[in-house]
Amino acid sequence: MKFSGFKLFRSGETIEEAIRYLSVELANSLRDLTSGLNKLKLLDNFEGFEATFSFSGNDEVSFRHNAGFIPSQRIIVRADTQDIIDGPTAWSKDYVYLKKNSAGSGTATVIFLR
């Protein structure tokens, strides 16, 4: 998103210029800002990464990432299976681990956050 910024209002201008500033310049800037903010995705607002996992049975699966931090939480954004939990292995700044806590296979897309 490219936002040019607000046009500054100079004090001492006439009331007509103040009304024009509020009704035209500021309104245009707010419209542009609102339009850009509405297009943001979840990861545009948070430091994190997205990963897709394939599970089979009760196996723990790992995902190597290069985020440079140990994630503190996760959000499952799509899954065709249930019972997805953190794996028994501790997360690190290089890997995260998840486990499907039931029989069968499945996939899940997960967002990990700082």
Q: Tell me the percentage of the chain whose pLDDT exceeds 70.
A: 89
Minimum mean pLDDT among 8-12, 13-17, 25-29, 93-97: which range? 8-12
Q: How confident is the model at residue 2 (pLDDT cuts 50, 70, 90)?
A: low
Mean per-residue pLDDT for 62-80?
92
Distance CA 32, CA 3 (A): 7
The conformation of residue 87, written as its DSSP 8-state character, comes to -
Domain limits, the chain: 1-40, 43-113
Q: The tokens 């990432």 sit on which residue?
A: 65
Q: What is the pLDDT of residues 26-55, one digit of tens each?
A: 787 788 888 878 887 777 778 889 999 898
The count of other CB atoms within 10 Å of the CB of residue 95 is: 14
- Which pLDDT score, from 0 to 100, does residue 71 have? 95
